[in-house]
Amino acid sequence: MNRQFLDIQDLACGYDRQMVLHHINFQAQKGEVVTIIGPNGSGKTTLLKTIPGLIHALEGYALLDQEDLSQMPAKLKAKRVAMVMQPMESIYMTVEEYVLLGRLPYFKTYQFIEDPSDIRAADKYLEYTGISHLKGESLSRISSGERQLATIAKALAQEPELLLMDEPTSHLDISHQAQILKLITDLKQQHDLTVVMVQHDLNLAGEYSDQVILLDKETQTLYKSGSPKEVITEAHIRAVYHTDVVVESNPHSGRPGVFLRKS
Ligand code: ADP
Protein backbone atom coordinates (compact mmCIF):
# COMPACT_ATOMS: atom_id res chain seq x y z
CA MET A 1 0.00 0.00 0.00
CA ASN A 2 1.21 3.52 -0.80
CA ARG A 3 1.81 5.03 2.65
CA GLN A 4 2.34 8.51 1.30
CA PHE A 5 -0.33 8.96 -1.34
CA LEU A 6 -0.90 12.43 0.10
CA ASP A 7 2.21 13.91 1.65
CA ILE A 8 2.00 17.28 3.41
CA GLN A 9 5.53 18.51 3.97
CA ASP A 10 6.32 21.44 6.24
CA LEU A 11 3.38 23.42 4.91
CA ALA A 12 2.91 27.01 6.05
CA CYS A 13 -0.26 28.80 5.02
CA GLY A 14 -1.90 32.17 5.35
CA TYR A 15 -2.84 35.37 3.52
CA ASP A 16 -0.73 38.33 2.34
CA ARG A 17 2.18 37.43 4.56
CA GLN A 18 -0.13 36.83 7.55
CA MET A 19 0.92 33.36 8.63
CA VAL A 20 -2.05 31.31 9.86
CA LEU A 21 -0.31 27.92 10.23
CA HIS A 22 3.27 26.71 9.99
CA HIS A 23 5.17 23.42 10.04
CA ILE A 24 2.20 21.24 9.12
CA ASN A 25 3.26 17.67 8.34
CA PHE A 26 1.06 14.65 7.80
CA GLN A 27 0.62 11.81 5.35
CA ALA A 28 -2.37 9.83 4.15
CA GLN A 29 -2.46 6.59 2.29
CA LYS A 30 -5.00 5.65 -0.37
CA GLY A 31 -8.40 4.92 1.10
CA GLU A 32 -7.72 6.83 4.32
CA VAL A 33 -10.07 9.39 5.91
CA VAL A 34 -8.20 12.26 7.59
CA THR A 35 -10.19 14.76 9.64
CA ILE A 36 -8.92 18.22 10.58
CA ILE A 37 -10.27 19.55 13.87
CA GLY A 38 -9.48 22.63 15.96
CA PRO A 39 -11.12 25.73 17.42
CA ASN A 40 -12.73 28.43 15.26
CA GLY A 41 -10.07 30.47 13.50
CA SER A 42 -7.34 27.86 13.99
CA GLY A 43 -6.87 27.59 10.21
CA LYS A 44 -8.76 24.42 9.25
CA THR A 45 -10.33 25.89 6.10
CA THR A 46 -7.11 27.72 5.20
CA LEU A 47 -5.19 24.44 5.39
CA LEU A 48 -7.82 22.59 3.35
CA LYS A 49 -7.65 25.26 0.61
CA THR A 50 -3.84 25.30 0.63
CA ILE A 51 -3.56 21.55 -0.04
CA PRO A 52 -4.76 21.76 -3.68
CA GLY A 53 -3.14 25.18 -4.22
CA LEU A 54 -6.37 27.21 -4.06
CA ILE A 55 -4.37 29.39 -1.66
CA HIS A 56 -0.63 29.55 -2.35
CA ALA A 57 1.47 27.84 0.28
CA LEU A 58 3.83 30.27 2.06
CA GLU A 59 6.26 27.39 2.58
CA GLY A 60 6.37 23.66 2.00
CA TYR A 61 4.53 21.30 -0.31
CA ALA A 62 1.40 19.20 -0.71
CA LEU A 63 2.33 16.17 -2.80
CA LEU A 64 -0.14 13.75 -4.38
CA ASP A 65 1.60 10.58 -5.47
CA GLN A 66 4.85 12.57 -5.15
CA GLU A 67 3.60 15.31 -7.51
CA ASP A 68 3.37 18.88 -6.23
CA LEU A 69 -0.35 19.70 -6.34
CA SER A 70 0.27 23.41 -6.82
CA GLN A 71 2.16 22.64 -10.05
CA MET A 72 -0.26 20.04 -11.44
CA PRO A 73 -2.03 21.03 -14.72
CA ALA A 74 -5.57 22.24 -13.90
CA LYS A 75 -7.42 19.64 -15.99
CA LEU A 76 -5.47 16.74 -14.52
CA LYS A 77 -5.94 18.11 -11.01
CA ALA A 78 -9.70 18.44 -11.62
CA LYS A 79 -9.81 14.71 -12.41
CA ARG A 80 -7.79 13.70 -9.39
CA VAL A 81 -8.95 16.14 -6.71
CA ALA A 82 -12.49 17.30 -5.90
CA MET A 83 -13.54 19.86 -3.31
CA VAL A 84 -16.72 20.39 -1.33
CA MET A 85 -16.44 23.87 0.18
CA GLN A 86 -18.58 26.28 2.21
CA PRO A 87 -20.70 28.28 1.69
CA MET A 88 -23.09 26.55 -0.67
CA GLU A 89 -23.87 28.38 -3.84
CA SER A 90 -27.52 29.05 -4.66
CA ILE A 91 -27.53 29.24 -8.44
CA TYR A 92 -30.14 28.96 -11.14
CA MET A 93 -29.61 25.53 -12.61
CA THR A 94 -31.19 22.18 -11.99
CA VAL A 95 -29.65 19.72 -9.58
CA GLU A 96 -28.79 17.40 -12.48
CA GLU A 97 -27.14 20.20 -14.51
CA TYR A 98 -25.12 21.13 -11.45
CA VAL A 99 -23.95 17.56 -10.79
CA LEU A 100 -23.01 17.25 -14.48
CA LEU A 101 -20.54 20.13 -13.99
CA GLY A 102 -18.45 17.55 -12.15
CA ARG A 103 -17.95 15.80 -15.51
CA LEU A 104 -16.34 18.84 -17.22
CA PRO A 105 -12.73 17.64 -16.68
CA TYR A 106 -13.62 14.54 -18.73
CA PHE A 107 -14.96 16.47 -21.77
CA LYS A 108 -12.86 15.90 -24.86
CA THR A 109 -11.59 18.75 -27.04
CA TYR A 110 -14.61 20.11 -29.00
CA GLN A 111 -17.05 18.28 -26.73
CA PHE A 112 -19.62 20.88 -25.67
CA ILE A 113 -22.32 18.76 -24.10
CA GLU A 114 -22.29 15.75 -21.85
CA ASP A 115 -22.32 12.29 -23.41
CA PRO A 116 -24.27 9.23 -22.16
CA SER A 117 -21.40 8.14 -19.87
CA ASP A 118 -21.50 11.56 -18.15
CA ILE A 119 -25.28 11.26 -17.66
CA ARG A 120 -24.79 7.76 -16.24
CA ALA A 121 -22.12 9.03 -13.81
CA ALA A 122 -24.35 11.93 -12.69
CA ASP A 123 -27.30 9.56 -12.20
CA LYS A 124 -25.13 7.18 -10.20
CA TYR A 125 -24.00 9.84 -7.74
CA LEU A 126 -27.45 11.46 -7.52
CA GLU A 127 -28.66 8.05 -6.41
CA TYR A 128 -25.65 7.50 -4.12
CA THR A 129 -26.43 10.74 -2.27
CA GLY A 130 -30.17 10.02 -2.20
CA ILE A 131 -31.30 13.01 -4.25
CA SER A 132 -32.35 11.42 -7.58
CA HIS A 133 -35.90 12.65 -6.97
CA LEU A 134 -34.61 16.26 -6.99
CA LYS A 135 -32.71 16.13 -10.27
CA GLY A 136 -35.16 18.35 -12.15
CA GLU A 137 -35.45 20.90 -9.30
CA SER A 138 -33.72 24.26 -9.35
CA LEU A 139 -30.82 24.51 -6.88
CA SER A 140 -32.31 27.76 -5.62
CA ARG A 141 -35.51 25.98 -4.55
CA ILE A 142 -34.14 23.13 -2.48
CA SER A 143 -33.06 23.18 1.17
CA SER A 144 -29.50 23.99 2.19
CA GLY A 145 -29.06 20.35 3.32
CA GLU A 146 -30.20 19.10 -0.09
CA ARG A 147 -27.86 21.61 -1.76
CA GLN A 148 -25.04 20.20 0.33
CA LEU A 149 -25.87 16.71 -0.92
CA ALA A 150 -25.90 18.06 -4.52
CA THR A 151 -22.44 19.57 -3.99
CA ILE A 152 -21.18 16.22 -2.73
CA ALA A 153 -22.77 14.43 -5.72
CA LYS A 154 -21.03 16.90 -8.08
CA ALA A 155 -17.66 16.26 -6.40
CA LEU A 156 -18.15 12.48 -6.63
CA ALA A 157 -19.12 12.80 -10.31
CA GLN A 158 -15.53 13.97 -10.86
CA GLU A 159 -14.55 10.46 -9.71
CA PRO A 160 -11.52 11.89 -7.86
CA GLU A 161 -8.80 10.07 -5.98
CA LEU A 162 -8.63 12.78 -3.31
CA LEU A 163 -11.76 14.40 -1.91
CA LEU A 164 -11.36 17.57 0.19
CA MET A 165 -14.43 18.55 2.19
CA ASP A 166 -15.10 21.55 4.42
CA GLU A 167 -17.66 20.49 7.02
CA PRO A 168 -19.58 18.18 4.69
CA THR A 169 -22.30 17.47 7.23
CA SER A 170 -22.83 20.94 8.70
CA HIS A 171 -26.26 21.55 7.11
CA LEU A 172 -27.51 18.01 7.43
CA ASP A 173 -29.87 16.41 9.90
CA ILE A 174 -28.65 13.38 11.82
CA SER A 175 -29.93 10.81 9.29
CA HIS A 176 -28.31 12.64 6.35
CA GLN A 177 -25.10 13.07 8.39
CA ALA A 178 -24.98 9.32 8.92
CA GLN A 179 -25.83 8.71 5.25
CA ILE A 180 -22.99 10.93 3.98
CA LEU A 181 -20.41 9.55 6.39
CA LYS A 182 -21.46 5.98 5.56
CA LEU A 183 -21.09 6.87 1.89
CA ILE A 184 -17.58 8.21 2.49
CA THR A 185 -16.73 4.97 4.32
CA ASP A 186 -18.07 2.92 1.37
CA LEU A 187 -16.18 5.02 -1.17
CA LYS A 188 -12.91 4.63 0.68
CA GLN A 189 -13.39 0.88 1.05
CA GLN A 190 -14.64 0.18 -2.48
CA HIS A 191 -12.80 2.83 -4.50
CA ASP A 192 -9.73 3.62 -2.38
CA LEU A 193 -10.87 7.24 -2.18
CA THR A 194 -8.71 9.37 0.13
CA VAL A 195 -10.69 11.98 2.05
CA VAL A 196 -9.44 15.01 3.95
CA MET A 197 -12.25 16.84 5.71
CA VAL A 198 -12.78 19.63 8.19
CA GLN A 199 -15.20 18.66 10.93
CA HIS A 200 -16.52 20.71 13.86
CA ASP A 201 -18.28 17.78 15.44
CA LEU A 202 -15.68 15.92 17.49
CA ASN A 203 -17.93 12.87 17.83
CA LEU A 204 -18.29 12.52 14.05
CA ALA A 205 -14.53 13.08 13.71
CA GLY A 206 -13.90 10.31 16.24
CA GLU A 207 -16.36 7.93 14.67
CA TYR A 208 -15.50 8.19 10.99
CA SER A 209 -11.77 9.02 10.73
CA ASP A 210 -8.68 6.88 10.36
CA GLN A 211 -6.48 9.82 11.29
CA VAL A 212 -7.25 13.07 13.12
CA ILE A 213 -5.24 16.30 12.81
CA LEU A 214 -5.76 18.67 15.75
CA LEU A 215 -4.77 22.30 15.10
CA ASP A 216 -3.88 24.74 17.86
CA LYS A 217 -4.81 28.40 17.33
CA GLU A 218 -2.30 29.71 19.86
CA THR A 219 0.84 28.03 18.55
CA GLN A 220 -0.51 28.17 14.95
CA THR A 221 0.50 24.63 14.21
CA LEU A 222 -0.45 21.02 14.60
CA TYR A 223 -1.03 20.08 18.24
CA LYS A 224 -1.38 16.34 17.73
CA SER A 225 -2.06 13.89 14.92
CA GLY A 226 -2.82 10.19 15.02
CA SER A 227 -5.73 7.80 15.43
CA PRO A 228 -8.99 9.22 16.90
CA LYS A 229 -8.16 7.53 20.23
CA GLU A 230 -4.69 9.08 20.34
CA VAL A 231 -5.88 12.60 19.48
CA ILE A 232 -9.37 12.99 20.97
CA THR A 233 -8.50 12.86 24.67
CA GLU A 234 -9.72 15.00 27.56
CA ALA A 235 -6.25 16.54 28.03
CA HIS A 236 -5.83 17.48 24.35
CA ILE A 237 -9.34 18.95 24.04
CA ARG A 238 -8.86 20.94 27.25
CA ALA A 239 -5.48 22.26 26.10
CA VAL A 240 -6.63 23.37 22.65
CA TYR A 241 -10.32 24.29 23.13
CA HIS A 242 -9.97 25.42 26.80
CA THR A 243 -13.12 23.45 27.59
CA ASP A 244 -13.67 20.74 30.16
CA VAL A 245 -14.97 17.57 28.56
CA VAL A 246 -15.41 13.91 29.34
CA VAL A 247 -14.18 11.50 26.68
CA GLU A 248 -15.62 8.02 26.83
CA SER A 249 -15.53 5.08 24.52
CA ASN A 250 -18.67 4.65 22.40
CA PRO A 251 -19.97 1.24 23.61
CA HIS A 252 -21.02 0.33 20.06
CA SER A 253 -17.87 1.26 18.12
CA GLY A 254 -15.15 1.67 20.77
CA ARG A 255 -14.42 5.12 19.25
CA PRO A 256 -13.99 8.21 21.47
CA GLY A 257 -17.17 10.11 22.34
CA VAL A 258 -16.96 13.66 23.70
CA PHE A 259 -19.36 15.04 26.34
CA LEU A 260 -19.38 18.48 27.93
CA ARG A 261 -18.57 18.49 31.65
CA LYS A 262 -20.92 20.78 33.59
CA SER A 263 -18.98 23.29 35.68
P1 ADP B 1 -11.13 27.82 10.75
O2 ADP B 1 -11.54 27.13 9.49
O3 ADP B 1 -10.33 26.95 11.68
O4 ADP B 1 -12.28 28.46 11.50
P5 ADP B 1 -9.93 29.76 8.98
O6 ADP B 1 -8.98 29.01 8.15
O7 ADP B 1 -11.26 30.11 8.38
O8 ADP B 1 -10.13 29.02 10.39
O9 ADP B 1 -9.26 31.11 9.45
C10 ADP B 1 -7.96 31.16 10.05
C11 ADP B 1 -7.49 32.60 10.13
O12 ADP B 1 -7.33 33.12 8.82
C13 ADP B 1 -8.48 33.54 10.84
O14 ADP B 1 -7.73 34.45 11.61
C15 ADP B 1 -9.17 34.26 9.71
O16 ADP B 1 -9.58 35.53 10.10
C17 ADP B 1 -8.07 34.32 8.65
N18 ADP B 1 -8.66 34.33 7.28
C19 ADP B 1 -9.55 33.44 6.79
N20 ADP B 1 -9.85 33.73 5.51
C21 ADP B 1 -9.13 34.85 5.19
C22 ADP B 1 -8.99 35.64 4.01
N23 ADP B 1 -9.66 35.35 2.88
N24 ADP B 1 -8.15 36.70 4.04
C25 ADP B 1 -7.44 36.99 5.17
N26 ADP B 1 -7.53 36.28 6.33
C27 ADP B 1 -8.35 35.22 6.35
Residue 38 Cβ < 6 Å to ligand 1: yes
Is the residue at 181 inside a domain?
yes
- 95 CA distance to ligand 1 centroid (A)? 30
Residue with the smallest CA separation from ligand 1 atom 20 is 46
Distance 214 CA to ligand 1 centre (A): 16
* Residue closest by Cα to atom 21 of ligand 1: 15
Shared-domain flag, residues 59 and 98: no
Q: For residues 38-63, give the mean pLDDT.
A: 97
**Mean pLDDT value across residues 114-124:** 89
* CATH assignment of the domain containing 214: 3.40.50.300
Q: Is 197 in the pocket of ligand 1 (CB under 6 A)?
A: no
Atom of ligand 1 nearest to the CA of 40: 4
Torsion over CA: 240, 245, 249, 250 (sign): negative
74 found inside a domain: no
- pLDDT score, position 88: 63
Residue 34 has pLDDT above 80, yes or no: yes
Measured at the alpha carbon of residue 220, what is the angle toward residues 217 and 224, in degrees to the nearest 5? 85
pLDDT at 167 exceeding the cut of 80: yes
Q: How confident is the model at residue 90 (pLDDT cuts 50, 70, 90)?
A: low
Nearest alpha carbon, ligand 1 atom 27: 15
Q: Residue 54 contacts by C-beta under 8 Å, 6 or more apart in sequence?
A: 83
Is the pLDDT at 40 greater than 90? The verdict is yes
Residue type, 9: Q
How many distinct structural domains can be found in the chain? 2
107 pLDDT higher than 90? no
Q: pLDDT tens digits for 230-241?
A: 999 999 999 999
Examine residue 238 and state whether it is found in any structural domain, yes or no: no
- Is 259 contained in some domain? no
Whether 116 maps to a domain, the answer reads yes
Domain range spanning residue 131?
Answer: 83-160
* Residue 89 pLDDT: 61
Q: Is the CB of 44 under 6 A from ligand 1?
A: yes
